[in-house]
Amino acid sequence: MENFAAGRGTMAAKMTPTARILIIAGSDSGGGAGIQADIKTVTMLGGHATTAITAITAQNTLGVDAVHPVPTEMIIAQMDSIIGDIGVDAVKIGMLPGPFAAEAIANRLKQMDKVPIVFDPVMVATSGSKLADDATIAAFGKLMDIATVATPNLPELQRLTSEDDPVAAALHLVGQHGCAVLIKGGHEEGDAIADALIEEDNMTSWQGQRIQTDNTHGTGCTLATAIATFLGQGASLNTAVEQARTFVRVALHDAPDIGQGAGPIGQGSVRLDVGTGLRLNQVTVTGSNYRKSVEFYRTLGLRQIVDSPENGYARFEAAGGATLSVQIDPEETILATTAIYLECDDLDERVEQLARSGITFEHGPRNQPWMWREARLRDPSGNIVFLYHAGEARRFPPWRVD
């Protein structure tokens, strides 16, 4: 039996620090759901996405216009090509073209030992378009038999079991197939929503406020793929679900507002908000004058996201999602022992533009021995700020130690 457990590497026991996620799903030409959303999610979470495409769809934010199923033999060929070379640390299964494909995929995945499998039983697109017929839905049981967790939304859960109560329906699936079931509460009415992970001997729930947006296309795909990625990186199921929920919620907040219907969510800026390891994503400096500090950092080009003058606190967001805060304390002695570095690709142009707007620089752009080009200035409180450009030399200088 093949063994592609997380961290085990390929069949030749080759070690790799990057989780390899096999995505078995359909293509969404609009880029909001399916394979496209899955690849974005895996990439932003630091994994490597591989794909076995099950169907090609012509769709956008308004609906699905056409579906072209990929022959089952080609789906299995894609899987074999990936498994035989790259290896797999976790699997996500989404849209399936028919019952024969579902059974063939299940039989192929049975040959892989100890690989987490996340099954998202896709039946209907966010737009309401039907993506699975009755025969295909009937075959979903074979995939739940081998899955680690299934992630149905409430209508899908009811369709799979004919149970009206979500918990009873989930327990029905757990008892019948042995996989955990994540009940997704996004289809419930009201501002408060709850998700629940039902296992054979445990239930974990998460509550949250509904994020008011029409841009929800691909939320189910993204959630399931994020769970698979975290499982492939070695997280427990509870931790994987919790982190995946955070990823989706931030992506909903950061949706780009594209299209005339249910737009895609914004996976592209979530990397600093959730993931494995320590992330340097927030810096706070002390200031002495609120108005001048806010004006300075906004003039530099940072986006203010918290404005609390009564508390002497402001927070700014940089491109990429990192944040910088200023906490005003007039009695604090500010020692310029730490520098803030803000990278920009248009350094010389930006410095010239800022200088014309009244920003004073201690020195303009200079090439440094450590392969950065930087300009130095201070904020109104005396904190040192550098605008710089390093490119690959920041993380990958010739003298990098690995």
Q: Who contacts 304 (Cβ-Cβ below 8 Å, separation ≥6)?
A: 294, 297, 298, 314, 315, 316, 317
DSSP 5: -
List 185, 220, 275, 287, catalytic entry: 220
Angle at 19 between CA 17 and CA 21, to 5 degrees: 160
* 218 classed as catalytic: yes
What the block records as the tokens of 339 is: 């520098």
List 30, 179, 184, 263, catalytic entry: 184
* 151 classed as catalytic: no
3-state secondary structure of 311: helix
* 292 classed as catalytic: no
Asked whether 21 and 48 are in contact (CB, 8 A), the reply is yes
Half-sphere exposure of 198 (CA within 13 A, CB side): 21
* 216 classed as catalytic: yes
Sign of the C-alpha dihedral computed for residues 235, 240, 244 and 246 taken in this order: negative
List 51, 136, 216, 225, catalytic entry: 216
List 40, 47, 221, 263, catalytic entry: 221
| Residue appearing with tokens 């004058």 | 289
Backbone angles phi, psi at 193, to 5 degrees: -125, 155
What the block records as the tokens of 7 is: 């961290």
List 26, 218, 263, 275, catalytic entry: 218
* 72 classed as catalytic: no
Strands 64-69 and 313-317: unpaired
Strands 323-328 and 361-367: unpaired
Give the DSSP letter string of 200-216: SS-EEEEEEEPP--S--
List 219, 222, 225, 286, catalytic entry: 219
| Residue appearing with tokens 């039907």 | 130
Q: Residue 231, class by beta-carbon neighbours within 10 Å (0-12 exposed, 13-18 middle, 19+ buried)?
A: buried
3-state secondary structure of 310: helix
* 221 classed as catalytic: yes
Name the residues annotated as catalytic.
184, 216, 218-221
